[in-house]
Amino acid sequence: MTAKPLTVVPLDQCWNRIGVRGDRSCPELEKVTHCNNCPVFAAAGRRFLDAPSPPGYLAEWTQRLAVREEVREGDESSVLVFRLGDEWLALPVAVLVEVTRPRPLHRIPHRGGLLAGLANIRGELHLCVRLDLILGVTVPPDSDPDLRRLVVIRRETEGWVFAADEVDQVHRVLLPDLASAAPTLARSHGKLTRGVFPHANRAIGLLDDGRLFQTLRERLR
């Protein structure tokens, strides 16, 4: 139901004819300075507010204001959406430090595989991990370099960097509405995914940051 406008009895709007919005010929202006201070204007306002409501108007707004807020604290989360290969994923912004352009990585002797190297970001060295290998995602070698970004994440005192083929933006997600991961997703990185939510005709896998950091810690240190 759409709220209907109030029915207002036409008034002699002297303030628009001879008042401050008219030709200013009203002699009362010398005493009250502005129509807002005039008893005639105040009386017109009272008549407007006292006008009867249309049928169903009060009942509709009573129903609207009585509806309980369904979204409780903790049900929503802000997440950063990014792409690895053909997979669109997300991480809570609570663990996000920054997103920056790629830069040369410094290789670590006798280390490789899941560890891509060291990234110097604002004068601080960060371990850069191959998140695609951790999650079992195939990343084509010809990905667009203009879209690639480095994502810095931190949880408590533990920090990592990973390369994303594309970074979208921050979105709000209703956690109770997360859907179960598809079977193909479950076979790859389903254990690290809390669920899936739709966005822009895509299925976005929301990663569990707690389990992700635990996996990185166990497999790389």
Stretch among 88-92, 136-140, 152-156, 157-161 having the lowest mean pLDDT: 136-140
Q: What is the pLDDT of residues 94-153, one digit of tens each?
A: 999 999 999 888 888 767 678 888 999 888 888 999 999 888 888 887 778 888 999 999
- Check whether 71 has a pLDDT greater than 70: no
User: What mean pLDDT is predicted for residues 157-169?
Assistant: 92
| pTM (two decimals) | 0.64
Residue 5 pLDDT: 47
Range 166-171, long-range pairs (CB < 8 A, 24+ positions): 166/82, 166/83, 167/80, 167/81, 167/82, 167/83, 167/99, 168/80, 168/81, 168/82, 168/83, 168/88, 169/80, 169/81, 170/78, 170/79, 170/80, 170/81, 170/93, 171/78, 171/79, 171/81, 171/90, 171/199
Residue 168 pLDDT: 93
Residue 13 pLDDT: 79
Domains of the chain in sequence order: 14-66 (no CATH), 76-220 (2.40.50.180)
- Check whether 157 has a pLDDT greater than 80: yes
Maximum Cα interatomic distance, the chain, rounded to a whole number of Å: 94
Q: What is the pLDDT of residues 12-65, one digit of tens each?
A: 778 788 888 888 888 888 888 888 888 888 888 777 777 777 777 777 777 766
